[in-house]
Amino acid sequence: MIDWLRSPWPWYVAGPAIGLTVPALLLLGNKTFGISSSLRHLCAACVPAKISFFQYDWRKERWNLSFVLGITLGAFIASWLLVSPDYQMGIAPDLREELASYGLSQNPDVLAQQLFGLSNLLTIRGLLMMVGGGFLVGFGTRYAGGCTSGHSISGIANLQWPSLVATICFMLGGIIVANFVLPFILQL
């Protein structure tokens, strides 16, 4: 059983499991799936300031905070206790060539340090990728009224037109950044 948990799950198991979360939440308590709103609930619970954005009954959304806590604990368990010693992360051959053209390592562990290590934070590339990217993700999430998972999984499943538009914009933005902006940043 533990070996099955340690191996990567195929798309035809993981995809439907994520997709079935939406009807399960709707059936169990008329709840919608989304992660970004949990930060608002946490701030409303912990920040005593009289900011109108945080003045609502956050206690009705305690389930969302529990859900995020469960995701955090699950990630901790998976990364520390369910790591398979035989699993080797791979990089596609075309991506290997592109990484080499930017002077980046083709080893996934070294590459992660080169792009997201703390020492990289003090470089222009690191500031743009981590601080700038984090700001843009936070701004976009707030501006779109939700995150990618909320709109793409829950919103579209509930046939919400704004969620379809947001998802299309997320995908277009990702394609543009991956193909035009990221190569420019990686050359810095």
The reported pLDDT for the residue numbered 72 is: 93
What confidence score (pLDDT) does residue 145 get?
A: 85
Residue listed under structure tokens 């409303």: 44
Integer Cα distance of 171 and 165 in angstroms:
10
Q: What average pLDDT does this structure show over 59-71? A: 89
The answer to whether residue 6 scores a pLDDT higher than 70 is yes
- Model confidence at 182: pLDDT above 80: yes
Give residue-wise pLDDT tens across range 149-160: 888 888 888 889
Nearest-angstrom CA–CA distance, 21 and 154: 9
Global confidence as pTM: 0.73
Task: Measure the CA–CA gap between 140 and 173, rounded to whole angstroms.
Answer: 11
pLDDT surpassing 70 at residue 1: no
Please list the alpha-helical segments (H only) found in 34-176. 37-46, 62-80, 93-101, 108-116, 124-126, 133-144, 148-149, 156-157, 161-176
Q: Are 36 and 137 in contact (CB under 8 A)?
A: no
| Residue 150 near residue 37 (C-beta atoms within 8 A) | yes
Closest CA to 129 of 187, 42, 69: 187
Q: What is the pLDDT of residue 162?
A: 92
Looking at the chain, the whole-number percentage of residues with pLDDT higher than 90 is 16
pLDDT of residue 63: 87
pLDDT per position as a tens digit, 12-60: 998 898 888 888 888 888 887 778 888 888 888 888 778 888 888 888 8
CA distance 59 to 169: 32
Angle (nearest 5°) at CA 171 between 166 and 173: 90
At 69 the pLDDT is: 93
Q: Is residue 41 a contact partner of residue 64, using CB atoms and an 8 Å limit? A: yes
Q: Given pLDDT bands bounded at 50, 70 and 90, which one contains residue 169?
A: very high
Average pLDDT rounded to a whole number, residues 123-146: 87
